[in-house]
Structure 1
Amino acid sequence: MTAMDKIVYRPARNELAYTFGGRMPVAHLRSGDMLQVFTEDCFGGLVRGPADPPSQRCRMPYLNPVSGPFFVEDAEPGDTLAVHICAIVPARDWGVSTTFPHFGALTSTTHTATLQPPLEERVWVYRIDQRAGTVQFAATDSDHSIDLPLDPMIGTIGVAPGGFEARTSIVGDTHGGNLDTPQVRAGTTVYLGVNVHGAMLALGDAHARQGEGEACGTGVEIAATTTLIVDVIKGEPTSWPRLETDTSIMSVGCARPLEDAYRIAHHDLVGWTSRLTGLHVLDAYQLVSQIGRAPIGNVCDPNYTVLATADKALLPAAAAPYNGTHDRLRQLTAAQQEGSR
């Protein structure tokens, strides 16, 4: 791969999308192509400080914009689209987080209606120092501040759903979407089941960092430039989104209530572990029960997100997931980075 293979896309504001499905592609990609794409923050860049409360600056359904969709040639229903995240770079030296009425895990919501007043709306501005690798939290009613590690992630990534559906970009489901897990960071490969011709990949909603669960409903929301490589895995379906890193495999479940998201993720990981290792499904179930972890993506969106994750080193004689796609894409990334120096 050479630098000439890199495709760069920066959408105009009127080109941002708010759904997965239901839109024409903005560009075409092929397996092995590298894409560098600019994405806006979940507020579309409209919330910049305390004078910009989201309830006044933003309106539904124009929240959580994504860039795309990108048509991936040769991707057909029944295939899997592999998306390797090469780099996520904040596009500005600031990010924001908020509380606002009827949103978040610790307040009344439209799904959990109670009589007490909603939480106060408030905006926190985080200063980002890329050279130092820090994100500065500053309290709003005291002088307390602390530098947190910069750990960029993609909150929303997915493909078009099947059945001619268009799903809002704030929902996570089988097609991907608003997963909001910090595990979708540089070095991770995301596997998405293809539902329509061309897959129609889209992404956005980057965070400078986020705690597991995204308790208040927002991470440190940023605009970002993300570099990724796509690859089509022919004839191998993927029912729910999966992630792979150098050390772990992860299955994603999205649902309400939270225990159903947990069950979906673990059902998929047990089956995946059984196929990779040759273990009987009950042996795989027992093994996952003892080695697994279950980080929560979010408990605020229309569907909650839970991951089931296992360390590769603890899977006996496991085959390489998707025939070594993650390792191959990681090597392509390293070759591209070396060639651009």
Structure 2
Amino acid sequence: MTTPDTGDAPPRRPAGALAAPAAPLLGIAGAAKHAYQLYHPPLPTGRARTPADRGLPTRHKTVVASYDGVPLRAWVVPGAGPHTVVVCHGMGRTRSMTLGHIRLLHRAGHHVVAYDLRNHGDSGADRALTRMGERYTSDLRDVVYATAADPELRGGALALFGFSFSTWPALQVVPRSRVPVAAVIADSGPAYDVPAGLRHFAALRGQALPRWLRGPRTLAAHRRAFAFFALRMLSLTDWPPDLSGCDTRLMFIGSALDSFVDPATVERTARHYPGAQYWTAAGAPHMRGLRFDAAEYEKRVLGFLAEAFEAFEASEVSGVPDASVVSDASGASGGAGAV
């Protein structure tokens, strides 16, 4: 006796079982799982690429999170110096995604420190359900402090380079750090309206649900519940952060073809900060500006860092705050300039 090959066919269920109340309940259950996975994604398989694979000098470093003892694994790629850029990858990725940026910064003479976020890559994991925003921000502050104390790296100014999700802690750590941050570059984030951004992400994530769970009522429940759970887990406070007392230059980069974070909402965040620069990488999907608009990306990023580090050094010598950080300026949407 033979039986048909069912493959990945969905399990049999009573007719109309998802039409009422089970449909929204399934959407809510899926949303809770996906919200947890947002901050605790599955780990990638296979060997991770390293700066050494690209011929760059590499030293391994471990920073223990002061918040809860989670080990954070970092690469130190020394350059000519004296300045250092701390690089933070996007959610669900690893520090390997930033290898092109590490090489760019190293060739420009900067020291680079790139680390895996908690619950990502080679760093340790937690099972936390709340205060994820505080944990990620505290972790970045620990990496900043460890970088400033490193004998090979200290002596110059320090900048932060964040992507997508990590642009949030990159901004939030600035007023909380006793080590001055000369500049922050935020690529493909952050969204100004965080709940709206999470709802948009939920809509994208919902399309990955099994076809038999993609009914309108299920997807609507999934979208609302995902934003609720993800926001409660993030526990984001003071957003956007008040940076009025910080002499930190800001550059925001939108990706023109970004389906995850609308470049318009990144520009809206930039406009919140007088003097911040905003630029859109032409033809670039999410976090891919360096690949799709390489020449312009390199020119703008390296030029911004050179000016920020020079201004930081001048303010350290004179004791006078960097006037460009607090002055009003204007710039055109889609181009470089202050917003």
What is the TM-score when the length of structure 1 is the normalising length? 0.25
Structure (1 or 2) with the larger CA radius of gyration = 2
Whose strand fraction is larger, Structure 1's or Structure 2's?
1
Where relative contact order (Cα < 8 A, 6+ residues apart) is larger, the structure is 1
What is the TM-score when the length of structure 2 is the normalising length? 0.25
